[in-house]
Amino acid sequence: MIRNVFNFTVIFVALTGSVFAQQDLSKIEWISIEEALERQQLDPKKLLVEVYTDWCKVCHKLDQISLSQPQVAVYINENYYPVKFNAESKKAINFMGKQYNFVEKSNTGYHEFAYKITHGKLNYPSLVFLDKDLSIIQSIYGFHGPDKLLKVLTYFAEDYNKKLPWKDFNAQYNNMIYNSSSSIQRNN
């Protein structure tokens, strides 16, 4: 009996350990903006900045439902330097030769960096896409389900935003994914 319990425990630990190890590989490897900028100098890559606040329920929903999906996490890790940025952080940020600080307003406030990269639209959560030159491509806000989020991530990561309007890309996305041998048709 004790031997069976021991064997069960060993098998259980081995199986759950391998499951946790697999999960770790499919989590977003969030880094600070400073670390992203350092990595950017050595190996240029696009940045994805999630602008959030601690009190934002939709931010938590995006994290728990969409950003926690393994296929989303793997895609982000492969194609972007992922940065989580608290829009109410009090820490100064140096970006593109300028210092950004926290601005107090009444009982709360906002960070100038969040204001800058969202073009003054402090909606939470916001996902901000920056190109390899650290220019802002686009900021999107609100909750997006995993399927739509993967579509948006692909649109910017693979530069479809330079080739096709969103409407055309959106209409052709499923054909692109399910018919991997064919390419997106361009309307010339």
Instruction: Enumerate the domain spans of the chain.
Output: 27-157, 163-188
pTM for this entry: 0.80
- Looking at residues 159-172, what average pLDDT do you find? 93
pLDDT of residue 79: 97
- Looking at residues 4-32, what average pLDDT do you find? 57
Alpha helices, DSSP H only, in the chain?
A: 2-25, 33-42, 57-61, 70-79, 112-117, 146-157, 166-178
Distance CA 126, CA 131 (A): 16
Structure tokens at 172: 């052709």
In this predicted structure, the answer to whether residue 41 has a pLDDT above a threshold of 50 is yes
pLDDT band at residue 19 using 50, 70 and 90 as cut-offs: very low
Name the amino acid, one letter, at 100: Y
Distance CA 60, CA 14 (A): 31
In this predicted structure, the answer to whether residue 5 has a pLDDT above a threshold of 70 is no
20-34, 98-112, 118-132, 163-177: least confidently modelled range: 20-34
pLDDT of residue 178: 62
At 18, phi and psi to the nearest 5? -70, -35
Q: Model confidence over 130-155: pLDDT tens digits?
A: 999 999 999 999 999 999 999 999 99
pLDDT band at residue 24 using 50, 70 and 90 as cut-offs: low
In this predicted structure, the answer to whether residue 4 has a pLDDT above a threshold of 60 is no
In this predicted structure, the answer to whether residue 33 has a pLDDT above a threshold of 50 is yes
Structure tokens at 92: 């100064």
Domain range 27-157, CATH architecture: 3-Layer(aba) Sandwich (3.40)
pLDDT of residue 26: 76
pLDDT of residue 176: 73
Residue 111 · residue 100 · CB < 8 Å: yes
Rg (CA), the chain: 20
